[in-house]
Structure 1
């Protein structure tokens, strides 16, 4: 049976996954530090945790972590994006027309936000100009939805924002079925996707359904998604190199060698 490998940091999401994994008779191993026993590498691991932890322990444990390419969003057909999105560098982004939404393309080295001027971005003395970033035309999102995807199918989905607010408790105005239908259309016609991934979609005011972003399933929040469905996606998205499916290697995260 799989072993669910969790971060030392307790969170509602990791607790929900641990509870569901135990119900399915999986073993659950919560790391106590960032130097796990090498014996864990012999297990059928399924990882869920932050990317820094993945980079720290991943190679030693033989993890196979799938993720979308950094430029996946701007490569989608325009009809699925409905705004100007570019994959560029932090240095080049300073030359764009502001205000502009800017976020790191991979890690969270600075805050993803709408910046009113290039001077508001982190300076070259803080971050290298070569840092890959995504920039986008600012738009108003009416609602946003998280979809956990496996082999081109939405396994489980949940609303997560209303009018830009993450703490919306009333789901009366959400269109979850519409979000699922749009996500399925993107998966069918939008191009090439990892077999296990998170696809966020939503509605832009005055423009309609669009893709918000794509993220690795193994580090994405659950919101109200079904933990059992998420575990199905995680088995493919964050398993072992020994069980890596044929053709999945091109989606692998490059894990660094960590000394000690």
Structure 2
């Protein structure tokens, strides 16, 4: 049976996944010392946790962690993003027209936000100008939804924000069916642009309509009100081990550093 590896940090999400894994008779291990025994590398592993933990333990355990390419959002059709999105570097972004939404492309080196000017960005004495980032035209999101995707299909979805505030359980005018339908349209056209297991966030932009918010690796994404059983199916595909990883997954594998023990 699979072994669910969880972060030392307790969260509602990890507890929900652990509860469901137990129901399915999976084994579960919470990595309190961040130094898992080497014998685990021979197990059927399923990982859920933050990227720093993945980088710490991943190489030693032979994890194969799937994640979308950092520039994926910038390659989607214009009618699926409904705003100007660019994959660039922090240095190059300083010459763009502001205000501008700016976020790190694949990590959290600085706060993703709308910046009023180039001067408001962190300087090169703090972050390298070559840091990959995404920039986007600022828009107002009316509602936002998280979709866990497996082999091109939405297997579970949940609203998570209303007018920019977290709000997945309220009586706000969410339309989950429409969100799933739009996400399915995006996936039908994506082809090989997305990994086989991924999180796709979609929402409605005020005055424009349905659009893709962003993509994220499933093994580090919050569940909100998504079905934990379905999420485990996605995680099993997205966070197994190198020994069972499919050859076609190579382009989606997160590079894992060597960590001295």
Contact 2:159 2:168 in 1 (8 A): no
CA RMSD in angstroms, aligned pairs only: 0.9
Q: Does 1:164 align with 2:146?
A: no
Measured after TM superposition, the shift of residue 171 of structure 1 is 3.6
1:109-159 deviation per Cα after TM superposition (whole angstroms, max 9, x unaligned):
000000001111111111000000000000000000000000000000000
Runs (5+) with no aligned partner, structure 1? none
Bigger Cα displacement from structure 2, 249-258 vs 161-170: 161-170
Residues 198 and 217, structure 2, Cα contact 8 Å, conserved in 1: yes
Superposed displacement of residue 172, structure 1: 4.1
> Residue deviations 1:150-197, cap 9 Å, x none?
000000000000000114641440010000000000000134210000
Count of residue pairs brought into register by the alignment:
260
Extract unaligned runs of 5+ from structure 2.
Answer: none
Residue of structure 2 in register with 1:36 after alignment: 36
Shift of 1:246: 3.3
Contact 2:162 2:172 (8 Å CA) reproduced: no
Tell me whether 1:196 sits opposite 2:187 in the alignment. Answer: no
Distance in 2, Cα, partners of 1:244 & 1:30: 23
> 2: distance between equivalents of 1:11 and 1:172?
25
- Partners of 2:159 and 2:226 in 1: CA distance: 9
Q: TM-score, normalised by structure 2?
A: 0.98
Identify the residue that residue 176 of structure 2 maps to in structure 1.
176
Tell me which stretches of 4 or more aligned residues in structure 1 moved more than 2 Å.
none
So what's the TM-score if we normalise by structure 1?
0.98
| 3-state SS, counterpart of residue 32 of structure 1 | coil
Partner of 1:236: 237
CA distance in 2, matches of 1:124, 1:187: 38
> Going by fraction, where is helix more abundant, 1 or 2?
2
